[in-house]
Structure 1
Amino acid sequence: MSQKILVAGSGKSGIAASRLILKTGDEVILYDSNDALNKDELSEQFKEEGTFSVLLGELKKEDIKDIDLCVISPGIPLDAPFVSVLRDGDIPIWSEIQLAYHHAKGKLFAITGTNGKTTTTALTGEIMKAFYAEVFVVGNIGIPYTEEALKTTTDSVTVAEISSFQLETITDFKPEVSAILNITPDHLNRHKTMDCYIKIKESITKNQGDQEVCVLNYDDPVLREFGNSIKAKAVFFSSRVVLDEGYCLDGDMIIRNHNGERYEIVSVKELKLLGRHNHENVMAAIAIAVEALVPIEVIRNAVCEFKAVEHRIEFVAEKSGVKYYNDSKGTNPDAAIQAVKAMPGSTILIAGGYDKNSEYDEWIRSFDGKVRYMVLLGQTREKIAECAARQGFTNVMYAEDMQEAVRVCASYANIGDYVLLSPACASWGMFKCYEERGDIFKECVRNL
């Protein structure tokens, strides 16, 4: 018997979820609280795909009387007014990844954490593709899981980047291998407290048992302790400690210590990724791949060939002896710290954007003489400038747009300097998304 499913959110995730539901024979009501949207334009995308309708504006009790399930897009907070209407009506609420998992086949490897998710997911995907015939790389990386779920088979391998927003409404979501790369403050405007944010990240393991694996960062004290409390087998990695059991850095060599044996995997000097944080991402990807039974030589070749993902410490160009790097995906202070650390020399930094209630003191302190000037954009520029002044950093300038910011950097940069876009803030307000912000930065650099 078919179900009537309310899909909340008309963006990329909502459209993909709606298509999946229609293909399985269920009915979709696409809901968006924005009553200024065009119903006809939304309906036009689905005119031959099944029983479909659009509902806009305020959601009322009578609107949900025949609804069996709601699939909510990750961008919608669970304190949105319409969510209380659904809960009062005892309507189950699933995330988009829960819907995809319900219909997908094959093995699932899921990666979360505050920073490094996209790089680790992309690298894990490349390793899997070097060994398995049928690999899907999905999730927060840009391809909705729901878009690919019905293409999977029992032989498929799916690698998914999972955000905290997506984890809020999972039910039986259970990866063969999960990974939590790190947990630092982020999205507190939505999750309110750090404790809540940590619990949501850790929930990626909630359905795993002793037949599944969770890869964890030993250097993160929260995750180190968490590894002792989970049902899944904990596999640790560390860039700071040589572990008796797990993956770690020993000098420049990434090694695996296992059952009293030492296995050398790859030297970080052979990698095309900059920075200690990326060495951690590589170790996490290696750990996942080993659990997926990929041979070490295949893993080694894949990690040596892998280049930085777009918008994550991405080399853009060298202009007049100055190298420009795009780290638009550095949307929180901890990610921006890693990017600054990865720069090999004197740096001029472009930062600022939408305020996620982050604190910037530790980030400013990480400049440690390396950052000569900071050019600030967006809503947070005064807040960041005030924080910098408290920390004794006063080489701060404002710009009204990215073009001005890049030109200011070019005028102050010396031969051998690095110009880094690593905003420590979300892109909203000035840009649609971090990808647009990064693309505009790259265009401005190339036009110098």
Structure 2
Amino acid sequence: MFLIIGCARSGLAAAKLALTQNEKVGLYDSKTYDKLNQSSQQQVSELENQGVCLFLGEIFRSTEVTQLIVSPGVPLEIDIITYYKEKNVPIMGEFEYASTFCKAPIIGITGTNGKTTTTSLVGEIFRAFNPKTYVVGNIGQAFSEKVLEIPEDGIVIAELSSFQLETTTKLKCSISTILNISPDHLNRHHTMENYINAKFKIINMNAPIILNQEDGYLKDLITSLSADIKTFSSKQPVACGTYFKDGQLCQNMLQTQSVVCNEDELHILGEHNIENALAAISIAIAYGVPMDIIKKELINFKGVEHRIEFVRNINGIKFYNDSKATNTGAAIPGLLAMKGPTRLIAGGMDKHSEFDEWIQLFEGRVKKVYLIGETTNQIIDTCKKYGFDNVESYDTLDKATLVAYEEGEFGDNILLSPACASWDMFESYEQRGNLFKYIINNLEG
């Protein structure tokens, strides 16, 4: 029996995929049926009608289980996984399981921050180059949902999280990319070493590797690996790759060095998006995409929802939705991208992160911080540590947003950039960002 762990999108997709292979399939979740969301309940019922054995709210121990397939959102330390690990049952993540059916090349993109923007941009470039391009993974489309329809002459662009990579053992990306590394998900990985090691599993030593030359955790990797490494830098020229200089995005990977485009031609804001664009250019050149396609898609790209997304201007007060900033490494670029004084809405689930580096940027930039969620007290304490006192907590995002607007003045930015995960109050960062936009769009101008 193939036992699938987790009844969210990836696990359900893996169960459906396993069924197509005439496997005996079991589906486990620690939640009972009534605790699943409505969509999961419907799909679970359909799978049961197709012969899937359900084990909901109870640990299933059986010698029948020959393969465990784990959804990325499930910690590997839970009892049922520990049990089968001790029984030497093979454990595979949903993404890697799906990859065993894929005959098309896979371009893998990971990093603490910028994954979704870069993956989306790379997807647009590659779709213009090859319409049979599929964007999957952490970006919202489970690989298992699409893999059987991907032709051999297609291309897979995959956003890969540390959760997806930590179970990986045999994945071979045709191009692998690490955008950056900063502390994140330490409640899951426990140590930075574990987190970094998960990220490094994306690397395929026999294929091009794209790395950020300016990232402290990647510098040693760049010098130590004997592989085809291309680098990108937002600060200085590189030996072989892409870089930003004098307001221009440049490349020296081809025989002739050239300017790809000017910064002011881009629609995405901030130095971090310069880096995302440089990484995308490097990936596309490494694959052989013509430069005219790269430039056209680059300057047409409008960014992604929930990432420094402009929402509305009301009486000179601009609202930005940066709900995807679920850690300080992502929140810092959002804050730095703001032009003018900012009223910052922040806070959320505690991932055992530190907020010092982010909060040290508040002075001279942030007028006031409006906090929600589990991390409220920790952020307040850290603000006090650095002498920033204009901070207040609220029970709901609605209240925090309305007070920020009431206190706002002409020329202010109101920025939702939580620096925390959403799961203490919301199902996802998307739900959090959509609520923020709903609140803003219902304010009277």
Q: TM-score, normalised by structure 1?
A: 0.95
Unaligned runs of 5+ in 1: none
Residue equivalent to 1:52: 52
Distance (whole Å) between structure 2 residues aligned to residue 47 and residue 160 of structure 1: 30
Deviations 1:302-345 (A, max 9, x none): 01000120011111111111110000000001110110001111
Give the alignment partner of residue 14 of structure 1, picking from 11, 15, 20. 11
2:100 aligned partner, one-letter code: H
In structure 2, how many angstroms separate the alpha carbons of the residues matched to 1:413 and 1:271? 29
**1:2-401 to 2 correspondence within 5 Å?**
4-35=1-32, 37=34, 43-46=44-47, 49=50, 51-60=51-60, 63-205=61-203, 208-210=204-206, 212-258=207-253, 261-401=256-396
The count of aligned residue pairs is 439
Cα shift readout 1:347-402 (whole Å, capped 9, x = no counterpart): 10000000000101110012241111110001111110110011111111111111
What amino acid is the match of 1:87?
A: K
Moved more, 404-413 or 354-363: 404-413
Letter in 1 for 2:288: L
User: Aligned with 2:349: secondary structure?
Assistant: coil
Paired residue type of 2:426? F
CA–CA distance in 1 between the matches of 2:432 and 2:131? 35
Q: Distance in 2 between matches of 1:391 and 1:257?
A: 43
Over the aligned positions, Cα root-mean-square deviation in angstroms equals 1.5
User: Contact between 1:352 and 1:425, CA under 8 Å: does it hold in 2?
Assistant: yes
Q: Match of 1:187, as an amino acid?
A: H
The answer on whether the counterparts of 1:64 and 1:89 sit within 8 Å (CA) in structure 2 is no
Q: Is the 8 A contact 1:37 1:56 kept in 2?
A: no
Between the aligned partners of 2:183 and 2:122, the Cα distance in structure 1 is 25
8 Å CA contact 1:95, 1:166 repeated in 2 = yes
Q: Which amino acid aligns with 1:44?
A: S
Determine the C-alpha separation between the residues in 2 that align with 1:401 and 1:232: 50
Superposition deviation, residue 47 in structure 1: 5.1
Q: Which moved more, 1:322-331 or 1:39-48?
A: 39-48
Please state how far the C-alpha of 1:41 moved relative to its aligned partner.
Answer: 5.1
Paired residues of 1:351 and 1:425 also in contact (CA < 8 A): yes
Alignment partners' CA distance in 2, 1:259 and 1:440 = 45
Would you say the 8 A contact 2:317–2:412 is kept in 1?
Answer: yes
User: d(CA) in 2 for partners of 1:258 and 1:160?
Assistant: 23
Work out whether residues 215 and 287 of structure 1, in 8 Å CA contact, stay in contact via their aligned partners in 2. yes
Paired amino acid for 2:95: I
Matched residue of 1:350: which SS? strand
Q: Identity of counterpart residues, as a percentage?
A: 41
CA distance in 2, matches of 1:28, 1:290: 42
Q: Secondary structure at the match of 1:284?
A: helix
For 2:382, give the aligned amino acid.
C
Query: Normalising by structure 2, what TM-score?
Result: 0.96
1:88 and 1:128, CA in 2 relative to 1: closer, same or farther beyond 3 A?
same
For the residue of structure 1 that corresponds to 2:65, the secondary structure is coil
CA gap of 1:372–1:250, structure 2 versus 1, over 3 A, is same
1:231/1:94 CA distance change after superposition, 3 Å:
farther
| Alpha carbons of structure 1 residues 305 and 76: separation in structure 2 relative to 1, 3 Å | same
Q: Deviations over 1:187-237 (max 9, x none)?
A: 0011111111111111111xx233x11110000122121123335411100
Q: Structure 2: how far apart are the matches of 1:22 and 1:104?
A: 17
Tell me which moved more, 19-28 or 260-269.
260-269
User: Residues 384 and 27 from structure 1, CA distance in 2 versus in 1: closer, same or farther, beyond 3 angstroms?
Assistant: same
Secondary structure at 2:100 match in 1: helix
